[in-house]
Amino acid sequence: MTQSKIITVLKNSALILQNLQIDYLPGGAMEVPDGDLLIPLANQLMPQFSEVIATVDWHPANHISFAGNHPWRHIGQTIPIDGREQELLPFHCVADSFGALFHPTLNKEKFTHKVELGTAHNVDDYSAFYDAGENKDTQLFDYLQSKNIEQVFIMGLPLEKVIKNTVFDAIKLEFKTFVIQDGCKAWKIAEAKKIWKDLEKAGAIILTADRLLEV
């Protein structure tokens, strides 16, 4: 593939990087196996895009998803909150904490926009576009429209929640939606195969990073 063809493919396109934060990497509170392998890949891909969007969990310490904020409850338990089922999680990505930071070798100067998710204490955000109740949007759609973005390329952590929900919403919002398969990692490898099938069935285009890096 020639360089000119790469430019054609990526015209009016944005790369969306999700949760490349210390708490989602090995050793973190919400670690995803091999999540650290995505850092050098993201650094390679970012120069191919004029728009690079980084999404981050940025929770208040009293967030409803934290098991520690619910007496007599435990991590992994699911409880009803405001009519929704909420999985209880360890404290993670608390705003301005060490775990909420990006990996130190991530090429952050390539970011053109950042979206903070889970900033309200009473609702979770699994998608880059909307909160879990779909009552409040993150303004990402408006930003992408302002930049004339027609297609999005999505990678990050974890596949089961954040990536899956962002992909479904991007398709609903009528973006041509690509998912970089080797740019995503899952908590449970056994569940990943079904998720990939579901994403493809919904209309996502699955590709590997080498398709974007060929010259």
For the chain, domain boundaries: 3-213
What local confidence, expressed as pLDDT, does residue 215 receive? 39
Over the stretch 105-142, which tens digit does the pLDDT of each residue have? 999 999 999 999 999 998 888 899 998 766 679 999 99
- Run of H or E residues at 191: helix 189-202
Environment class of 203 (CB within 10 Å of its CB; exposed 0-12, middle 13-18, buried 19+): middle
| Spans of the chain, pLDDT less than 70 | 1-9, 133-135, 214-215
CATH of domain 3-213: 3.40.50.850
What local confidence, expressed as pLDDT, does residue 195 receive? 97
